[in-house]
Amino acid sequence: MIILPAIDIIDRKPVRLYQGDYAQKEIVGSSVMELAKNFEQSGAEYIHLVDLDGAKEGKRVNHEIILETAHALDVPVEVGGGIRTMAQIESYLENGIDRFESYYDGFDPYAIATRCRTAALMEVARTSARRAERIYARADLAVGSRESALHRRYLNRLSDYLWAAARYLDAVRQESPSAAPATPRLKELNAVNPMSLSNVKRFMQALEDEAQRRGLQLVIAVCDREGRPVAVHVMDEAFIASYDIAVNKAFTAVSLKMSTKELAKLCAPGGSLYGLQHTNQGRIVIFGGGVTLRDREGNILGGLGVSGSTAEIDTMMGDVGEELFLRMQSR
């Protein structure tokens, strides 16, 4: 167990509040830095600094004394109070702060990101960075060079940044009305011709709703089983370049009868289809976001192309679209 001595700060001075009442405070030391150094000399492994002025006003107030104190200590420093934006988190991390109490008042720092895929991926990256830090420390234990200490500190800061970024994204998704977890009510597609223009428009609207809930601006393209475009939907603020990419992803998926993610593996150096992306006038796309659209018997009806974010997120949204298309077909 690690005990974190905490120093509450008001007007650059260390204080103690009576039952959390700002009007009833007691100055408990001559300076924040001196008190923090005393804790460090007494064996503290972490120091927790709280900007009470910042917590009250909703912005950083005592950040200068916090950074001065952090730079004077050899132990890691955790900060809370007045942190409301990702830029503030990044500023603290870049200037030597190791950890954050919370991003939001009342926010559970141990909550697992579940509403935002990007936050979940950052959690995975964070655990990998932390694991790398431990492995590095064990392997380099006997050396103890200044360079190795800097490397370990970098890995530590990287994992802290990923933690803070994941918490921020997950908190934003939880507070945003567009991120409501409710599953949209889906209108079934006409069983006679699921790839008719009216059906495709209904499907694309459902997929756009999913993208909006995730805060994404995408281009969504659907083609028929012959690779001919049926409809292309451009969301507000989507990248101009995403138009052609989405159309070509849909074409690639239906013409090769596989997702562009699967194709990427085959087109890698040494793969059985290496170089295929240079054929068909450059229309073959070999990164995620293109999937086939099938009926419930597995027959290919068309292709879907999604573009506008990272390859990972485009891949995810392509998978979401593939599932939506199946769900919307009449049972």
Residue 246 has pLDDT above 90, yes or no: yes
pLDDT of residue 217: 92
Residue 40 tokens, joined: 């460090």
Beta-carbon contacts of 240 under 8 Å, excluding residues fewer than 6 positions away, are none
Residue 221 has pLDDT above 70, yes or no: yes
Number of Cα atoms under 13 Å in the Cβ half of residue 19: 0
C-alpha to C-alpha distance for 232 and 254, rounded to whole angstroms: 16
Cβ atoms of residues 40 and 62 within 8 Å: no
Which of the four pLDDT bands, split at 50, 70 and 90, describes residue 184? Answer: very low
Choice between 166 and 191, residue whose per-residue pLDDT is larger? 166
Residue 39 tokens, joined: 């804790």
In the numeric block, the tokens 């924040």 are attached to 32
pLDDT of residue 87: 66
C-alpha to C-alpha distance for 163 and 116, rounded to whole angstroms: 14
pLDDT of residue 131: 72
- Give me the count of residues in the chain: 331
Percent of the chain with pLDDT over 70: 75
- Describe the crossing of helices 197-213 and 311-328 by its angle, rounded to 10 degrees: 130
Considering the chain, what is the average pLDDT of its residues? 79
Could you give the C-alpha distances from 67 to 51, 62, 155, 295, in angstroms and in order? 11, 9, 20, 60
Residue 112 has pLDDT above 60, yes or no: no
Choice between 330 and 240, residue whose per-residue pLDDT is larger? 240
Across residues 308-320, what is the average pLDDT?
A: 91
pLDDT of residue 128: 77
pLDDT of residue 86: 62
C-alpha to C-alpha distance for 262 and 276, rounded to whole angstroms: 13
- Which of these ranges, 65-74, 149-158, 291-300, has the smallest mean pLDDT? 149-158
User: Which H/E stretch holds residue 237?
Assistant: none
User: What structural domains does the chain harbor?
Assistant: 6-177 (3.40.50.12600), 197-328 (3.30.450.150)
pLDDT of residue 116: 64
| Cβ neighbours of 100 (radius 10 Å) | 22
> Residue 26 pairs with which residues in a beta bridge?
16
Residue 54 has pLDDT above 80, yes or no: yes
pLDDT of residue 249: 97
